[in-house]
Amino acid sequence: MIKKNGNKRGACEVKIERNITVRSDGYAFRVRMMAHGVRFDETFHTLDEARAFRDRKRSDVVLDPTAALVLAHRQIKREAGTALVDLLKRYLEEITPTKKGEKAETYRIKRLMAFPISRTPVRLLNREVLTDFLAVERKQGKSENDLRKYLMLISGVFTVAVKRWGMRLDNPVKYVQVPSNGEARKRRLELDEYEYLIPALAKCRCSYTAPLVVFAIETACRRGEALALEWRDLDLTGRTAKLRETKNGEDRVIPLSTRAVEVIKKLPRPLRPCDGSQVFKISEEQLRRGFEFAKRRARRDYERDCHVEGKTAASSFLVDLRFHDLRHEATSRLFEKGLDVMEAASITGHKTLAMLKGYTHLRAQDLARRLG
């Protein structure tokens, strides 16, 4: 038998039978399989040796109760030394890259790996350990929503470890009271915030920051959807845009307002738009920095004007505004313009009325004026 992982670098493997692969140069045959929860990965000189090893392991588990018991105890012993951080690393390598929210989950996993709880052996990770983790992080100022996401991540890792990796673990999260989402954000642009914010955005280092913000307010699209928009997706004559990088994975076509079309027409357009020709040539990080810069500048301008006019500046003016709040603003404006639920949902992409309702915050004063 050849040593495990004894393959020469550069040769690929081809599957020839169940659990058996052969190197492209015919140098060795590799057996990779799970038997009673234990992973085997061995390499042999001949196909007959590989088959014999594979078949023996299968028959041992089926015909010999003692062998199955030995394998089970071997698995338990191996898992006893496995810490949460080991599962997180494997999950990050194998599972996270397959998800649409890969970037956000990668960030959260790396944050969780920095906490002391990640060094806890998975066999010792129980309700008490998780409860202590929540208590400590609450004292450090972590929000309930952040703690909920960490617990859901741990739960997801344990689920994959049991169902996909064959580990005999009990998910400890099911014994813990998971924090709620907390109160949903209802932030919209308040009086004069838009008027101060847009000129400040125009002074950002990246010239695409201001147009993208206006476009987001006019279309209710998400940040990722706007950043992924390409020139081939636009029909300015028909005033529509096709959004491809949507949260639910389904493309949707949205109408463009007159203001949104004006914004697009002012952007430099390639002579021959092709695949990958981005409309808003700005990165997510540039947008984040530009948005924060514009908020600070707009706030200073607002405070200066209040001082000149002898008014007291509102403490909340632009302070807690986030880019995603613009989607709340845009969704609310759709209803203020008279669109019904189905029309608004076709633009925003929400699948349920409850989700749409969470992004709709109509002002009582506006409703009073419509009542007459």
User: Hunting for tokens 């208590």 — which residue is that?
Assistant: 135
**For the stretch 74-89, what's the b/e string if a residue is b when 16 or more beta carbons lie within 10 angstroms of its beta carbon?**
ebeeebeebbbbbbbe
CB 24 within 8 A of CB 16: no
CB 119 within 8 A of CB 85: yes
CA-closest candidate to residue 38, choices 164, 161, 166, 159: 166
Q: Which tokens belong to 152?
A: 């859901």
CB 246 within 8 A of CB 228: no
Catalytic residues: 222, 247, 324, 327, 350, 359
Contact partners, residue 336, CB within 8 Å, separation at least 6: 362, 366
Q: Give the CA distances from residue 72 to residues 61, 159, 166, 284, 300, in Å, rounded to whole numbers and listed in that order.
A: 10, 19, 11, 48, 66
